[in-house]
Amino acid sequence: MSLQQISEQMLPAIELELRKMVGLVLWPELDEMHHMLAYHMGWEEEGAGAEAGGKRIRPLLVTLCASAAGGDWLKAIPGAAAVELVHNFSLVHDDIQDESHTRRGRATLWTLWGVAQAINAGDALFSLGQLAALGLARTVSEQAGLQAGLVLQETCLHLTQGQYLDLSYEGRQDLKVADYWPMVAGKTAALLSASTYIGALAAQAPPEICESYRQFGEGLGLAFQAQDDWLGIWGDSALIGKSTASDLVSRKKSLPVLFGLSQEGIFAGRWRQGPIHPEEVPELAAQLEAEGGREFVEKETDRLTKQALEALARAKPQGDAGDALGELADYLLMRKA
Amino acid sequence: MSLQQISEQMLPAIELELRKMVGLVLWPELDEMHHMLAYHMGWEEEGAGAEAGGKRIRPLLVTLCASAAGGDWLKAIPGAAAVELVHNFSLVHDDIQDESHTRRGRATLWTLWGVAQAINAGDALFSLGQLAALGLARTVSEQAGLQAGLVLQETCLHLTQGQYLDLSYEGRQDLKVADYWPMVAGKTAALLSASTYIGALAAQAPPEICESYRQFGEGLGLAFQAQDDWLGIWGDSALIGKSTASDLVSRKKSLPVLFGLSQEGIFAGRWRQGPIHPEEVPELAAQLEAEGGREFVEKETDRLTKQALEALARAKPQGDAGDALGELADYLLMRKA
């Protein structure tokens, strides 16, 4: 069975569990609160559908890892819902913090219901995520529930640390490549590593196997982010499409930019002068490439991809789900099969 | 031993555990993030000290109930830290939502560090609270840790439901007394009932005793809020002091106000006209009293106080801590000894 076929089995079960958890907020006085959460999850209002909900990569990692580690993926479903709910909690709060008006092609929660209700809706998703994780106590064992709860909270703490760094970098001109990794470790890699780890926990895999799955998720997260940052400057939509899509215009503190700043060359000089116009994008991207930024990011991505795949190999993933995990990693990291 | 003597033993241990948990955010890059949390907890900056941190009533309820239920209060300390951290998470977010500039006589976190960092600091306190609760798995048993984690998350979900209602009542003119209870059950009573329940759980008390402690905390929370609402209109500082302290001026949807609105009398008519000036406060408070508001709230407070004390009696609290619990309830509910 291919990744696609396995996903078609797993995704409906994941969606059902997500709806069950969000359904905990469904009593008559709370209709509108439930509606906010259902809107954000992509289930209600104009534009509702799979695209509005996102790809559900994280919960899929949980069920795939559970199955590849020799467990029953159905028992891992509470853990899958947990990581997706936590991911969505962080998106709701991120959108307020970044003053983002759209997400997945639709208006963000705070633009529709205001900042106060959006903070609260995020908090509710946070609680629901943690409640879901503790549900592994029912489907697997008390110990698995407790472990998943601990891992998820440590992850959330790590998320807030990454977010703190991201916010604190605002307006700073002295950032270096070394400032990039702790931010991305918290903002992106923490939840991916929690996903693969919780999947292995739900399969009651031995500690060293759980740890290999954790490292796989962590490497995957770091490699994915480095690659995403590459795309944000040299990808087609950033460079050839409307250059407003470029991270250079949005001034994102991405890996290529931090590399460029540390070079103290022409790129760094121009960056520090202030806002970059869309028309400048192709030339500035070429300048950053000439200063070695493109090659640096490609090497980092390769290094991290290799780390992730080695960790996956150490985890000895089994069966169709094991193959599908490799396929998912290739897809996320845009590697040719 | 009196409540004061027992508190003097317990509070330093509670404070130490709180500092230990917040210390999880202490690595070099995160100095400033740690500082935000330490500021909010009342430990750092101008005005730091016991008053800036609040009374620590909730953690004290945890340790007192643990001891009164026959357990070792030192083992309950992670649960005590948990409820205080969750309480403070909710305060940090509340202050943003209500646009409050001061709390406990000092500037609120968001006024000093901005909304984005304050949302994030609240999220971090949320995670730390949950991590602390799961710590009962170490000091008591895996089951106690899991149970405490579940109770605390259900409580947080309940908090967000109460907060949703509070925010959604903004500007509504058709509120009734029946709208009051679900809001207060979530905003005030949920965390107090979690505190007394987690204390009993940490003592590994039998389920029916844990349930009685839970009901004690719940009744205490509801009675306390009803009484606090009474003070907000007929208390000395609201009526005799500067009348700007009156809930009538701040337009708080308190129990007396909702009673007055449901009477559809002179009070309701004036309330619906819009903002109330401090000079109008004494007359409007007298009007609400004439319409039966004061007597209604006093009767409700008495009824809930009786419920709380009956639940406490059913819990059969033991020893000095048991006596101190009664003393704490009397203090909170302003009952003469």
- Is there a contact between B161 and A33 if contact means CB atoms under 8 Å apart? yes
pLDDT at A242: 65
On chain A, the residues whose CB falls within 8 A of the CB of B130 are 130, 149, 153, 156
Would you call A157 and B128 a contact, using CB atoms and an 8 Å cutoff? yes
Structure confidence at residue A271 (pLDDT): 92
Rounded mean pLDDT of B215-224? 97
pLDDT computed for residue A243 by the predictor: 64
Q: pLDDT tens for residues B71-115?
A: 999 999 999 999 999 999 999 999 999 999 999 999 999 999 999
- Closest approach of B41 to chain A, Cα-based (Å): 17
- pLDDT of B246 over the 90 cut: no
Q: Cβ–Cβ of A157/B131 closer than 8 Å?
A: yes
Q: Is the ipTM of this complex over 0.85?
A: yes
Best probe of the B interface among A21, A25, A26, A29, by most B CBs < 10 A, is A29
Question: What's the pLDDT at B25?
Answer: 87
Residue A120 sits at the chain B interface (C-beta within 8 Å):
yes
Of all residues in chain A, the one with the smallest CA distance to B150 is: A131
Q: What is the mean pLDDT of chain B?
A: 94
What local confidence, expressed as pLDDT, does residue B336 receive? 53
Mean pLDDT within B245-249: 87
Q: Do A126 and B156 touch (CB under 8 A)?
A: yes
Query: Is some CB atom of chain B closer than 8 A to the CB atom of A172?
Result: no
Contact A124 B150 (CB under 8 A): no
Inspect the interface and report whether the beta carbons of B32 and A168 lie closer than 8 Å. yes
So what's the pLDDT on residue A245?
A: 74
pLDDT of res. A165:
96
Q: Is A119–B119 a contact, with Cβ atoms under 8 angstroms apart?
A: yes
* B139-183 pLDDT per residue, tens: 999 999 999 999 999 999 999 999 999 999 987 888 899 999 999
Q: Show residues of chain B in contact with A143, CB under 8 Å.
A: 142
B241 band by pLDDT with thresholds 50, 70 and 90 = low
Instruction: Please tell me the pTM assigned to this model.
Output: 0.95
> What is the SS3 string spanning chain A?
CCHHHHHHHHHHHHHHHHHHHHHHHCCHHHHHHHHHHHHHCCCCCCCCCHHHHCCCHHHHHHHHHHHHCCCCHHHHHHHHHHHHHHHHHHHHHHHHHCCCCEECCEECHHHHHHHHHHHHHHHHHHHHHHHHHHCHHHHCCHHHHHHHHHHHHHHHHHHHHHHHHHHHHCCCCCCCHHHHHHHHHHHHHHHHHHHHHHHHHHCCCCHHHHHHHHHHHHHHHHHHHHHHHHHHHHCHHHHCCCHHHCHHHHCCCCHHHHHHHHHCCHHHHHHHHCCCCHHHHHHHHHHHHHCCHHHHHHHHHHHHHHHHHHHHHHCCCCHHHHHHHHHHHHHHCCCCC
Q: What is the mean pLDDT of each run of 10 residues along chain A (337 residues)?
A: 94 97 86 96 90 92 98 98 98 96 94 98 98 98 96 97 94 88 96 98 98 98 95 85 78 93 94 91 94 97 96 97 95 73
- CB contact under 8 Å between B167 and A116, yes or no, is yes
Q: Which domains does chain A have, with CATH numbers?
A: 3-332 (1.10.600.10)
Residue B28: predicted pLDDT: 76
Q: How many CB pairs under 8 A join A and B?
A: 143
pLDDT at res. B197 = 98
* B111 interfaces chain A, CB cutoff of 8 Å: no
| pLDDT reported for residue A337 | 44
pLDDT given at position B337: 44
Q: What is the percentage of chain B residues whose pLDDT exceeds 90? A: 84
The verdict on a CB contact (< 8 Å) between A130 and B119 is no
B153 at interface of A, judged by CB pairs closer than 8 A: yes
Mean pLDDT of B309-327: 97
Do residue A167 and residue B131 have CB atoms under 8 angstroms apart?
A: no
Distance (Å) from the alpha carbon of A137 to chain B's nearest alpha carbon? 8
